[in-house]
């Protein structure tokens, strides 16, 4: 079996990946949302009860909607489930200078050290990154392979310079206040007028790529198992992903069985060039729309316009995703939609 479930994690990411034997699969956890969802805790308790473990836990980057829930999981020792390796680029991986982040009490690093969790063990606690010449691959127990696509050294350096500010915004320092109002918002904002969606016009809106330091530092990767390929874009820059894919694949388009769209479907992380470079029929959007109103109309329209006859998968049915479940639009533009329930949305390969 090979299955990915996007659990309901509010405006964040929480991906539960299973591969191998149906009755005892290998498990990977990627992010845990702003606060670990109940569905995730239930899965961890069941995993621990049957004596299983997490092959890999990945914190893609230091944004609250990806990292916040992981603090709770570490405090609770993953509810009894052991962790074989934990991937996270902390301050010690961003610079050869003294790791002042640890001394100031950065919460995730402190918990990793306190709980003695294997940390970036696959590369002997070095930083996880790509180089201009090389995208490292890692073989996991059970036959899966992960190939890193992001970040690169330049993106990690940009994060290093702003480490304390970014960690304060993500609430990773108890004594550093948030500097953005984004994290103070709750709920969903209404669209207002419901004019018919003009997909070509939305897809053709000018594209400006994301420039956020935390997003640029995202650990994005390809996971492969028994010939199936899944692209997990985290919140990475599309240009960085495409550069890395060009290193590991010989020709366009790059074939995937599923693409988890970068940054929940932000207009700054889904470009025409990105979608056109992919040969994929399933695109996953992970967000309930709170705080940032993701996925944005222009990002979804670019997928519809440049990946014809694709299936749009949403782990929530929110005001920002249900507008695409329109019979006329789906008929005109030849796409389909699927939505998650209380336990998120699962895709089997």
Residue 133, number of CB atoms within 10 A of its CB: 6
Q: How confident is the model at residue 163 (pLDDT cuts 50, 70, 90)?
A: confident
Cis peptide before 281 (omega within 30 of 0): no
Is the pLDDT higher at 97 or at 232?
232
**pLDDT over 50 (residue 102):** no
- Tell me, what's the pLDDT at 164? 84
Kindly state the tokens that stand for 65. Answer: 């909607």
**Better-scored residue on pLDDT, 185 or 201:** 201
Q: Looking at residue 341, what DSSP letter applies?
A: B
The phi, psi pair for 156, rounded to 5°, reads -70, -35
What pLDDT is attached to residue 77?
97
Which pLDDT value is given to residue 190? 44
**DSSP-derived secondary structure for 118-144:** -BSGGGTT----B-SS---EEEPTTS-
- Indicate whether 319 pLDDT > 90: yes
d(C-alpha 147, C-alpha 135), whole Å? 7
Q: Tell me which H or E stretch contains 346.
A: strand 345-348
Lowest mean pLDDT among 16-20, 103-107, 192-196: 192-196
pLDDT digits (tens, 9 = 90+) for 38-55: 999 999 999 999 999 999
Tokens 């127990």 locate to 141
pLDDT at residue 154 tops 90 = yes
Q: Phi-psi region for residue 50, left (φ > 0), alpha (ψ -120 to 50) or beta?
A: alpha
pLDDT of residue 318: 95
Contact assessment for residue 81 and residue 47, using Cβ atoms and an 8 Å cutoff: yes
Q: What is the pLDDT of residue 187?
A: 43
**Percent of the chain residues past pLDDT 70, beyond the cut:** 91
What domain count does the chain have?
A: 1
Instruction: Name the least confident of 60-69, 151-160, 191-200, 201-210.
Output: 191-200
| Residue 89 pLDDT | 94
3 state DSSP class of 168 = helix
Specify the higher pLDDT residue, 172 or 178: 172
Q: What pLDDT digit, counting tens, does each position of 55-94 carry?
A: 999 999 999 999 999 999 999 999 999 999 999 999 888 8
Structural domain containing residue 154: 2-348
Both tokens of 214, joined, read 């935390």
Which residue has tokens 């599923």?
258
List the Cα angle 58/60/63 in 5-degree steps. 130
Phi and psi at residue 199, to the nearest 5°: -65, -45
CA distances from 7 to 32, 52, 283, 288, 344 (A): 9, 20, 15, 11, 4
pLDDT confidence tier of residue 186, bands split at 50, 70 and 90? very low
Q: Does 194 have pLDDT greater than 90?
A: no
- What CATH number does the domain containing 128 carry? 3.60.15.10
- Assess whether pLDDT exceeds 70 at residue 301: yes
d(C-alpha 335, C-alpha 339), whole Å? 14
Write down the mean pLDDT value for the chain: 91
pLDDT at 173: 79
71, 74, 108, 146, 159 from 102: Cα distances, Å = 15, 16, 9, 28, 16
Q: Which of 274, 257, 271, 238 is nearest to 313 (CA)?
A: 257
Asked if residues 74 and 108 have their Cβ atoms less than 8 Å apart, the reply is: yes
- Which pLDDT value is given to residue 210? 97
């Amino acid at each position: 079996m090979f299955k990915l479930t996007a659990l309901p994690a509010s405006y964040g990411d929480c991906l539960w990946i299973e591969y191998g034997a149906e009755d005892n699969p290998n498990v990977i956890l990627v992010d845990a949302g702003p606060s670990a969802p109940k569905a995730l805790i239930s899965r961890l308790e069941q995993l621990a009860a049957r004596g299983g473990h997490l092959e890999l836990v990945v914190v893609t980057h230091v944004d609250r909607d990806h990292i916040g829930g992981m603090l709770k999981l570490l405090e609770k020792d993953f509810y009894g489930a052991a962790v074989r390796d934990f991937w996270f680029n902390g301050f010690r991986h961003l610079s050869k200078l003294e790791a002042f982040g640890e001394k100031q009490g950065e919460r995730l690093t402190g918990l990793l050290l306190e709980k003695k969790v294997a940390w970036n063990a696959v590369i002997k606690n070095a930083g996880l990154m790509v180089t201009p010449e090389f995208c490292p691959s890692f073989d996991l127990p059970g036959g899966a392979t992960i190939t890193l696509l992001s970040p690169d050294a330049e993106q990690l350096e940009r994060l290093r310079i702003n480490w304390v500010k970014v960690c304060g915004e993500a609430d990773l320092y108890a004594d550093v206040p948030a500097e953005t109002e984004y994290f103070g918002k709750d709920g969903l904002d209404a669209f207002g007028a419901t004019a018919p969606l003009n997909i070509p016009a939305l897809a053709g809106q000018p594209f400006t790529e994301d420039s956020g330091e935390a997003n640029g530092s995202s650990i994005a990767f390809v996971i492969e198992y028994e010939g199936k390929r899944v692209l997990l874009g985290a919140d990475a820059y599309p240009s960085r992903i495409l550069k890395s894919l060009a290193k590991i694949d010989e020709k366009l388009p790059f074939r995937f069985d599923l693409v988890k769209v970068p940054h929940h479907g932000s207009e700054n992380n889904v470009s025409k060039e990105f979608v056109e470079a992919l040969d994929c029929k399933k695109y996953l959007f992970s967000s309930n729309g709170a705080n940032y109103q993701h996925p944005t109309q222009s990002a979804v329209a670019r997928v519809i316009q440049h990946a014809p006859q694709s299936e749009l998968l949403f782990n929530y049915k929110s005001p920002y995703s249900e507008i695409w479940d329109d019979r006329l639009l789906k008929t005109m533009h030849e796409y389909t939609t699927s939505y998650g329930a209380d336990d998120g949305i699962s895709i089997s390969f």
